Amino acid sequence: MKKELGFGIVGAGMIAPIHADAIKRVPGARLVAFCSRSAEKARNLAKEYDVRFYDDYTEMLKDDEIDCISICTPSGTHLDIGRLAAGAGKHIIVEKPVDITVEKADELVEECRRNNVRMGSIFQMRYNKSSIKAKEIIGSGKLGRIIMADAYMKFYRPPEYYKNSTWKGTCEIDGGAALINQAIHGIDLLLWLAGEVKSVYAVCRTQRHDIEAEDTVAAVLEFENGATGVIEAATSVYPDMQQEIHVHGINGTMILAGTEVTYIKMLELMDGTKYSEQQKSGDTLGEPHYLQYKEFVEAVSRGRDPILDGAEGIKALKLVRAVYGSSKSRRSIML
């Protein structure tokens, strides 16, 4: 194994610099190149980070200094890009969602397995200090048996957010809208904290935006552990609100809040324990991506799968697709 793992980033949109900054901070990682269909965007980012650029992805995959591909392209392109990377012997780390359907996501996981390369799925909010603390509190049993768990992701996006994009809010490339693009981070946290979902009944609507997919979602959940809960997700509500995950145990309640940087808004137990971080958790924007990349590099260097591998990344996507299926069929969906 090389002393350093070389990374190539595919995609030159808003998220690419966050990945680049994370890679440059990780010991044992080196940013080698950017690639985009827009040669100008790739060139500009490459100049900013003093690395190479490509406008032909197949040429990028021939670069022997690149060991890992970071996929930061529109959601519905992830399988096609990842399949080529795996075939070229490159490890991959892919932005959420893994792809827009469970079938395509499963295929990407299988391609990585078949080519003996590692796969990571970006859900960086798990790496916030407060998210980890929340997980530890639940795991300690302090909350007791979970009886309810809810995710509230009521966001606002102006009309220009969709009008200025060729793919956001489309079924073909985005796979949906508010739920699969914005709310999937909160859904991943909900599942990670409260456990897997057994069934869902949902209603999806397009209430505000002139888009093909949904901008407003409400869903009722039944968890495998017997708890119930709801998901409320939107890009239609004004003003934009912070994401909140509510976990209610038999002994008390915990609220994990924050859309990008999380904090424990409230922990109150029946034994008198009270705690809140009041938005001072110590997390900073960009730190969770760095921590996830650090773990990914350690995993690849040691020849193991990362903690948040392909299979783990698909869990939130399965619930998203079940929500869509329930709304379309007007019936409860068993996962």
All structural domains of the chain, each given as residue ranges with its CATH number in brackets, are 5-123+287-309 (3.40.50.720), 125-283+317-334 (3.30.360.10)
Q: What is the pLDDT of residues 156-205, one digit of tens each?
A: 999 999 999 999 999 999 999 999 999 999 999 999 999 999 999 999 99
* pTM for the whole structure: 0.96
Q: What is the pLDDT of residues 19-70, one digit of tens each?
A: 999 999 999 999 999 999 888 988 999 999 999 999 999 999 999 999 999 9
pLDDT of res. 1: 52
132: which 2 tokens? 């980890």
pLDDT of res. 150: 99
DSSP string, 222-281: EETTS-EEEEEEESB-SS----EEEEEETTEEEEEE-SSS-EEEEEEETTS-EE--TT-S
SS3 (DSSP) at 45: helix
Sheet holding 5-10, edge to edge: 52-54, 29-35, 5-10, 68-71, 91-94, 119-121
Give one word for 50, left, alpha or beta, with left for phi > 0 and alpha for psi -120 to 50: left
**Distance in angstroms (rounded) separating the CA atoms of residues 114 and 213:** 34
116: DSSP letter: T
pLDDT of res. 286: 87
Q: Is the pLDDT assigned to residue 104 strictly greater than 90?
A: yes
* Bond before 239 cis per omega within 30 degrees: yes
